[in-house]
Chains A and B, each alone.
Chain A
Amino acid sequence: MSSDHDSHRCTCGKGLSRRQFLTSAGVGALVVAAAGHLEKEHEASAAVMRSGEGDKITLHINGKQYQMLVEPRWSLLHVLRAELGLTGTKEGCGRGECGACTVLMEGIPRYACMTLAVEAEGMEITTLEGLMNGEELGPVQKAFVEHDALQCGYCTPGQIMAVEGLLRKKTHPTMEDIRQGVSGNLCRCGTYNHIFDAAQRAAELKRGGAQ
C-alpha cells in the first residue's frame, strides 16, 4: 500500500480541483488529437503530466479523509483497491459493464471503474467496508447471508452496494424496483432470485423489522 495518503505526511488538505483537472485533461486530449509536432511544446509546459506524476487530492471514503497523490488518469477503482487496499470493491471488467465495482457516491450507486479518482474528490464515497458497523454486518449484508444471495461472491459487493443505494432512495421497494435496482450488476453464477429475496429482507431490516 502506498504511504502517500498518510495524513501526517501530506497535510496540505487541498488537491487539484475538479475544474483544474478537467482543464489540463482537455489540453492533454487536444495534444493527442492534434499534430505530433505540438507534443514537445506541451510536454515542456506543466499542463501535460507524465506517467508516475501525481496530484494531491483528498478523498472522503467511509467517513475518513485520505490525502494522497494520484495520477489524473487513475480510476477511483484503482485508488480504492491498489492504493488504499480497500479490496471489498471488486474489478470485473474495468469498463462499466458488470457493476462489481459499484460504490455509493453521495448515496447513489456508481461504477468506480468509470469514475476518475480526481472526479470523486470532495464527494462522500461509501464502499462495502463502509457498510460495516465495526465487526458487525449492515442490514443489507445480513440479508444477503440469510438468503444465500451469493455463490462465488465476486459480484456480491457490487450487488450489495446497488441494493443499499436503492434502499436509501426507497424504503418500500417493489419487485420491479429491485430488479431495476440491480440490473446494472451482472452475476454469472445466476443468484438473482436470491438477491431479490435478500433485497426485500434488507428493506424490512432497515425499516426496523425483526432481526
Chain B
Amino acid sequence: MNAPDGNIYYLRGIPVPETPPPGKDPAPWKKTEIVGQRLPRVDAYERVSGVALYPSDIHLPRMLYAAVLRCPHPHAVVKGVDTARAEVMPGVCAVITGKSSESDFTWSFSKEIKAKIFDPTCRFEGEEIAAVAAETAYQAWDAVRAITVEYHVLPFIADESKSLDVSSPQIHSGGNTVKTDRYSRGDVTRGFAEADVVIDETYRTECELHTPLELHGCVASWNGDQLTIWESTQGVYSLQSRIAEILGIPLSKVRVIGHYMGGGFGSKLQPGKYTIIAAALAKKTGRPVRLFLTREETFLAAGNRPPATMRLKAGAKKDGTITALEFSCTATGGAYPAGGTSLMDWLVKDLYLCPHVKTEMRDVYINAGPARPFRAPGHPQGAWALEQMMDALAEKIGMDPVDFRLQNIPYHSQGRDGNPPYTSTGLKECLIEGAKAFGWEEAKKRSRESKKGGYIRRGVGVASGLWFAGGGNPPSTVVVKLFADGSVNLNMGASDIGTGTKTIMTMIVAEELGVRPGAVQIEHADTGTTQYATPSGGSKTVPTDGPAVRAATLSVKQQLLSFAAADLKTDNASLTLLGDEVISAKNPLVKMKIRDVTGLKKRGVIVGVGYRGPNPEGKVVNPFAAQFCEVEVNTRTGEVRITRFLGCHDSGRVMNRLTYDNQVFGGIIMGIGFALSEARVLDRNQTGKMLNRNWHDYKLPTSLDVPVEMTSLPIEKPDDLANTIGAKGLGEPVTIPTAAAVANAVYHAVGIRMTGTPITPQRLCPAVEKGGKESS
C-alpha cells in the first residue's frame, strides 16, 4: 500500500511468502452465537493445572544446561579467553568461545552491521563472550565463573544526548548516528503564523524493559542434521527462517515448537544469540541443551523500549483548530541498529487533523543493550508528548480537553501518501462514550472541590491514541479438519502469547460449524506440523489469522453440505448446520446427523484450507482508543494514587469479551508502570553499567499499585471493510494513551506538568514545593 506498512517491524528481515487469494469472501456475520461471548480460555485448564509445558519446562533425556559468560564492561575488546580451568570442572561437557568452530556464525543487526556470535568487540554490557554446557545449571555457572577473560576496556557513552559529541567514543566505524528520518507536509511556518496560541515543550520518556515472566531462551536438540528448538517465542516461523539462515541449513531441517510461552510483548519476535549458542552446544556435545537466560541477563540483553527526548511545538486557534505540529526527537536503540526512533512521530503525523506537520527523528548509538520491538513501538512515547500537548493547548484556549480532541478527529490517514481513508474510526465514539461512562464532567467538578483544602488533590486526565498497524495482513494458511463424529481439529501456525488467540480461533470455528467450542481441538505454533503464520505481534494475530480460520471452516462446511445434499437428495444451497445435524431450511423434516453423512464417513475426515486475503485496496485499518483516569496526589509525599481507569476502545468486533477486558486492563497496567515507576538506570558518568537489572530496583506495578476500579468499554463497530471477521487489533492500542492520561491527571490535580517519565515521588515532591513545572 505504501512504504511504512510494507516495512512493519514484526515482519522486518524475514521472508514472507504470498498465500493464494482466499476465494470468494464470505458475507460479514449479522448475528453471532458464540463470537463475542465471555468464553473462558480453551487452554485455561492446562495453564492453571500445571500440565501446560512451556519451553522452559521441557526436560529431555540426557539434557544439558547451558550458561553464558557476558562482558561486564559497556565497551571493550576481548584480548584473550582462558577456559582451561572451566573445562575440567565437574559436570562440564563443552565450553565454546569466539575461537570455537562450532559457534563461528554471523549475526546480522542490519545489512551493514554484523557481528560474530562471540564477537571480540563488546559494545554493551552483557555481550556474549563464551558459553558452557554442563550436567546441571549450577555446574554450568560454576564453570562460567571459572573462565578468565582479558579485556581491553574502551571509553563508553551511555547518554544518548551526548552520543554525537565529537569527544564521545565511536561505537561503529561510521559514527554514532544510526539514521535521521525527516517528514513534512504543508508549511509549519505558515501554520504557526495562523495560530492564536503556540506552545513549545520538551518531553522525555525513559527506557522501559519488557521483562516477561518466562525468561528468554530455548531447548535445542539435534537428531543427525535435523535441529529441533523449543523456544519461548511469539513466532515459530520467524524463528525458523532466521535460525536456518544463520546456521546455513534448509528450512526443512529446522523445526521450531512454541506451544506455550510466558509473555513476550515484542521481545520474543525473533531468536536471540542464545538460540544459536544452544544449537552450537547441542551440536558439539551431541546432547540436547537447555539455555534460558537469568533474569539479570534479560535486563541487559533481551531488548527494551528506547528512551527518547522529544520536542514538540504546536499551534492552535481559539476555536480549537490545530494549525501546526513540529516534532523532533533523539532516541537510541542501544549499541546496534534496533529501531531506536521507530514510529515515534506517528501519532503526531496521524492522530489529529493538522495541515502543517514537520518531524525529524534522530536514532543514535550508545553502549547499551539493543532495543527490541516493545508493545506499540514508538507510540506510548509519542503519545506522552502529543497528548500532554493537547491538554496544554486545550487549557490555553479555554476548551475542555475532550471537546478539543473531538474537534480534530480525522477520517483519513494523513501520515500516509495519498491520504487514504480508514476503514473505520471510532475515535469520536471512544471519546464521547468514554467520557460519559467515566463521568468526566462530575469528576472534573469533584477535583475542583478537592483543591479547597487538605493535602490530597484529585485530578482527572484523558488521552487518545491510534495504532499504526492492527489490521493484519496476508499471509496466513489454516487447516481445519472435521472428524467423522463431528468433532474438529484446527491447525494453525500462530502463537498464543497470552492474548487468547487459541480461544478466539476456536470460537470462529464453533460459530461457523455450530459445534460446541469444546469439540474443537487445536494444534498450533510448530513449524513441523502446523501451517505458515507470521509472528504474533503488531496486534495483528486475530485480524490476520481469524479470517483464514473462517475461510478454512467455511470450506469444510461447504464440502459437508455437498455430501449431505447427496444423501438427502436435495441441493446443498438449502441446507444448514444446526447442532450435530444437517438440516434443510425449507423443510425441517429433511435432516440428518453429521456423523451419518456418507461422504464424511467414507473419507474419515473433511479437510478445509483457508487463506488470508489481501486488505482492502487504498484503505487503512487502524484501531482507536481513548482512556480516562482519576488520581489522587499527596502533595506532602509526592505519591500518585490512581483511583480508577477507563479504557474505551474501537477494535472492531469484540471476539471474546472476557479476554478483551483482560487485554484492556493489562495494557493499562503496563502503561501505569511506564508512567509512574519504570526506568532503566545507566551509570552514565562512571561505569556505564545498568544499575537496576532486577525487579527489586526496576519497579513493575504490583497488585497494590493498580486501581481496583477498572472499566473496559468497547465501542463495538464490526469493521466489515477490514476483513471477513470484522475485528481489528487490540493488544497494543490498550497501552498507548495510558501514561499520558496519568500525566494529564497529575497536572489537573496539582497544576504541574510532569514532562518526563516516570512520575516518582522523588521528582513530583520538589516540583510541588516549587509550585511549578518540573525543571528538566
Contacts and interface: CB of A to CB of B under 8 A. Distances in A.
Interface of A: 1, 50-52, 71, 73-74, 78, 81-82, 85-95, 97-98, 100, 127-129, 132, 137, 141, 144-146, 148, 150-157, 160, 175, 178-180, 182-183, 185-196
B48 A190 contact: no
Nearest to B698: A97
The 5 closest A-B pairs by CB, nearest first: A88-B50, A154-B262, A190-B669, A152-B498, A190-B666
27 contacts: A51-B138, A81-B57, A82-B59, A86-B50, A88-B49, A89-B50, A95-B295, A97-B295, A132-B49, A137-B45, A137-B49, A144-B48, A148-B661, A153-B48, A153-B52, A154-B214, A154-B263, A157-B48, A178-B703, A186-B213, A188-B670, A189-B213, A189-B263, A189-B498, A192-B665, A192-B706, A193-B708
A190 B702 contact: no
B44 A148 contact: yes
A137 B138 CA distance: 34
B450 interface: no
B399 interface: no
Interface of B: 40-41, 44-45, 47-54, 56-57, 59, 89-91, 135-139, 142, 210-215, 260-263, 265, 294-295, 497-500, 658-659, 661-663, 665-670, 694-696, 700-704, 706, 708, 710
B703 A90 contact: no
Contacts of B215: 91-92
Nearest to A50: B90
Contacts of A154: 54, 212-214, 262-263
Contact of B665 (A1, A155, A191): A191
A156 B667 CA distance: 18
B262 A183 contact: no
A1 B262 contact: no
A141 B48 CA distance: 6
A90 B662 contact: no
Given A154-B213, A179-B703, A87 B57 contact: yes
A104 B48 CA distance: 16
A91 B217 CA distance: 13
A83 to B, nearest CB: 9
Given A92-B213, A190-B670, A192-B703, 20 more contacts: A1-B59, A87-B53, A98-B213, A137-B45, A144-B44, A145-B44, A146-B40, A148-B44, A148-B658, A148-B661, A153-B52, A179-B704, A183-B703, A188-B265, A189-B213, A189-B263, A189-B498, A192-B669, A192-B702, A193-B665
A98 B695 CA distance: 7
B658 A52 contact: no
A183 B665 CA distance: 17
Given A87-B57, A190-B666, A190-B669, A128 B47 contact: no
B499 A93 contact: no
A51 B695 contact: no
B139 A187 contact: no
Contacts of B663: 151
A82 B91 CA distance: 15
Contacts of B294: 94
B498 A93 contact: no
A186 B498 contact: no
Contacts of B135: 52
A145 to B, nearest CB: 4
Nearest to A144: B48
Contacts of B700: 186, 188
Contacts of B49: 88, 128-129, 132, 137, 141
